[in-house]
A and B are shown apart, each in its own frame.
Chain A
Amino acid sequence: MIELKDVYKTFNRHVVLNRISLKIEKGETFVIIGMSGTGKTVTLKHICGLLDPDDGEVLIEGVKMNNSSESIRRGLRRKMGVVFQSGALINWLSVGDNIALPLREHKKYSEKEIGVRVDEKLKLLHLQSARDKMPAEISGGMKKRAGLARVLVRNPEIILYDEPTSGLDPVMSTHISELIVKMKEEFGVTSVVVTHDMNSAYHIADRIAVLYNGDIVQCDVPEKIRNSAIPFVRQFVSGSLTGPIDVE
């Protein structure tokens, strides 16, 4: 469903993605882990077409996303949603209006239907009390959940999550992880998750890719990643201070 072929990306001559290739199947939950600044979010931005690679291809259901026309990009993006790290809520719209925004803009539903769908997602993410609040009046965790609600309200086939559990309390983290699993089991959603939360990664992932210095050093099922023979992966997943990762 999602395929990255030899994707190469640099910023100011600094190589961020060094010819990485990935194939993510329909209905799969694919987790990308790695140290900060290794290109995890850049990979997500390539998948959703916010960034184009210097070389290589990004294919969504066989259709080339990179360097394609705006109408092709829009068509592909209609199938996907992105949960941004900060929530990325529009600051002058209330939480309810933010969630309703994609439905209102595309005019596919009546106001009554929009209201029902928004209420449903607010309830799913325990945000009923925040419906009329402005983004500045709610916590970071609530913003993130509202961002997730705005994605879910469109029923996308692909959801990309950028650190979905960071900044959330443990109970809410588990709730979000369960929700990602539920989206896969009940609706067959394909998910790509960038996270540092290893507990969540082991729980939700079908496969985990470990990114280091722009390369995928290992891509396997959670059990194999947990018991990896590669020193870097072993140190990263255990959070140990001793190993090849230089904390300096």
Chain B
Amino acid sequence: MSIVLLVYLIGDSIMKILDFSGYCIILFFNTLFYLKNIFSKRKEIVRQMYNAGIRTFIVVSIVAIFSGMILTLQSGIELKAYHLEEKVGNVLIATLTREMGPFTSAIILIASVGSAMAAELGTMKVSEEIDALEIMSISPVKFLVMPRLVALSIMMPVVTVYTNVLGCLGGAIVAKTHLNVSYDTFYIHILESLHFKAVYVGLLKSFVFGLIIATICCAQGLRAENGAMGVGKATRDSVVASFIMMLVVGYFITEIFYRGGL
């Protein structure tokens, strides 16, 4: 009996995942269809860009500086053992541009913007606002999802560049104070390992993460049900699903672009 129950639970979970994945794919392509209305929705797009960029400014700044400081300190300690501490700038910029910049920015935006999107749309769903839009023949995808998807896919690379720059600043401070690497030396080594490919692949990753986060979080919000509890569940699930998808897709982008090396 317990094996039957286990099989049932696994099967049920797989069906739910497939159902949600299908919904996300359909939602994504529906959203692309409404890109033709991008100009008429510019005010809402700007409002969403403000939410994603300006409202997260302080938290992004703090996380970026400390990420750069931690990375520099940890790698600097190892490099110092081989008297290579002046190379810490190379390690930092390679790590930030290739992985940590897009990754850190995505985590911050999932936690702050993506979860808020799911909660906002979920609340609209359970309070009949989405139904009201449908009745007015206003597509919720055009009115709600498209502006959010466009805004997040634009702001994610912007936030990533900002994270990379502040990460380097934080790293420079630690390199100077803890590793006795001058700002000039640090700066020269940063430029030495600042590869164009690393930058554009990092920004592409950010852009894709923006699309993934917006699609998943909006989908969770639009499917919320059962009042406040349902909104809470949608918010939590949106964060978990976005985070997992970000890691999986991030790996495959790395695999595709770095298979043959830098």
Chain A interface residues toward B at CB < 8 A: 45, 48, 50, 74, 77-78, 80-82, 84-86, 88-92, 101-102, 105-106, 147, 150, 154
Q: Which of A86, A92, A154 contacts B128 (CB 8 A)?
A: A86
Q: How large is the interface on B (under 10, 10 to 19, 20 to 34, 35 or more residues)?
A: 10 to 19
A84 touching B132, Cβ below 8 Å: yes
The residue in chain B whose Cβ has the minimal distance to the Cβ of A80 is B135
Bound together, the chains give a CA A55 to CA B137 distance in angstroms of: 25
Bound together, the chains give a CA A53 to CA B132 distance in angstroms of: 20
Bound together, the chains give a CA A105 to CA B132 distance in angstroms of: 13
The residue in chain B whose Cβ has the minimal distance to the Cβ of A89 is B129
A45 / chain B contacts, CB cutoff of 8 Å:
131
A154 touching B136, Cβ below 8 Å: yes
B129 touching A105, Cβ below 8 Å: no
B129 / chain A contacts, CB cutoff of 8 Å:
88-91
B137 touching A74, Cβ below 8 Å: yes
Q: Which of B47, B132, B137 contacts A88 (CB 8 A)?
A: B132
Supply 16 A–B pairs (Cβ within 8 Å), ascending by A. Answer: A50-B131, A50-B135, A77-B137, A78-B137, A82-B131, A84-B128, A85-B128, A86-B127, A86-B128, A88-B129, A89-B132, A91-B124, A92-B47, A101-B138, A102-B138, A154-B136
Bound together, the chains give a CA A50 to CA B143 distance in angstroms of: 18
- B134 at the A interface (CB under 8 A): yes
Chain B interface residues toward A at CB < 8 A: 47, 124, 127-129, 131-138, 143
Task: Determine how close the nearest CB of chain A comes to the CB of B113; give it in whole angstroms.
Answer: 15
B136 touching A102, Cβ below 8 Å: yes
The residue in chain B whose Cβ has the minimal distance to the Cβ of A102 is B136
Bound together, the chains give a CA A200 to CA B143 distance in angstroms of: 36
Task: Determine how close the nearest CB of chain B comes to the CB of A190; give it in whole angstroms.
Answer: 15
B128 / chain A contacts, CB cutoff of 8 Å:
84-86, 88
Bound together, the chains give a CA A109 to CA B109 distance in angstroms of: 38
Task: Determine how close the nearest CB of chain A comes to the CB of B136; give it in whole angstroms.
Answer: 4
Bound together, the chains give a CA A90 to CA B129 distance in angstroms of: 6
Task: Determine how close the nearest CB of chain B comes to the CB of A114; give it in whole angstroms.
Answer: 14
Bound together, the chains give a CA A167 to CA B136 distance in angstroms of: 24
- Decide yes or no: A48 and B135 within 8 Å by CB, A84-B128, A85-B128 being known contacts: yes
Count chain A CB atoms within 10 A of each CB in B135, B138, B143 and give the residue with the most. Answer: B135
Task: Determine how close the nearest CB of chain B comes to the CB of A24; give it in whole angstroms.
Answer: 18
Q: Which of A50, A85, A89, A147 contacts B134 (CB 8 A)?
A: A50
A147 / chain B contacts, CB cutoff of 8 Å:
132
Give me 7 other A-B pairs in contact (C-beta within 8 A), A84-B128, A86-B127 excluded. Answer: A50-B131, A50-B134, A77-B136, A88-B128, A88-B129, A105-B136, A154-B136
Bound together, the chains give a CA A231 to CA B135 distance in angstroms of: 37
The residue in chain A whose Cβ has the minimal distance to the Cβ of B132 is A88
B131 touching A84, Cβ below 8 Å: yes
Task: Determine how close the nearest CB of chain A comes to the CB of B95; give it in whole angstroms.
Answer: 39
Task: Determine how close the nearest CB of chain A comes to the CB of B139; give it in whole angstroms.
Answer: 9
B143 touching A82, Cβ below 8 Å: no
A105 touching B131, Cβ below 8 Å: no
A78 / chain B contacts, CB cutoff of 8 Å:
137
Bound together, the chains give a CA A171 to CA B143 distance in angstroms of: 36
Q: Which of B47, B124, B127, B135 contacts A77 (CB 8 A)?
A: B135
Q: Which of B124, B127, B132, B138 contacts A82 (CB 8 A)?
A: B132
Bound together, the chains give a CA A105 to CA B44 distance in angstroms of: 13
Bound together, the chains give a CA A102 to CA B47 distance in angstroms of: 20
Bound together, the chains give a CA A86 to CA B135 distance in angstroms of: 15
A82 / chain B contacts, CB cutoff of 8 Å:
131-132, 135
Task: Determine how close the nearest CB of chain B comes to the CB of A170; give it in whole angstroms.
Answer: 25
Bound together, the chains give a CA A89 to CA B129 distance in angstroms of: 6
The residue in chain A whose Cβ has the minimal distance to the Cβ of B142 is A105
The residue in chain B whose Cβ has the minimal distance to the Cβ of A147 is B132
Count chain B CB atoms within 10 A of each CB in A82, A105, A154 and give the residue with the most. Answer: A105
The residue in chain B whose Cβ has the minimal distance to the Cβ of A48 is B135
A106 touching B137, Cβ below 8 Å: yes
B132 / chain A contacts, CB cutoff of 8 Å:
82, 84, 88-90, 147, 150
B135 touching A105, Cβ below 8 Å: no
Bound together, the chains give a CA A80 to CA B124 distance in angstroms of: 21
- Decide yes or no: A81 and B143 within 8 Å by CB, A86-B127, A88-B127, A88-B129 being known contacts: no
Bound together, the chains give a CA A78 to CA B132 distance in angstroms of: 12
Q: Which 4 A-B pairs have the closest CB atoms?
A: A88-B132, A88-B128, A102-B136, A74-B137
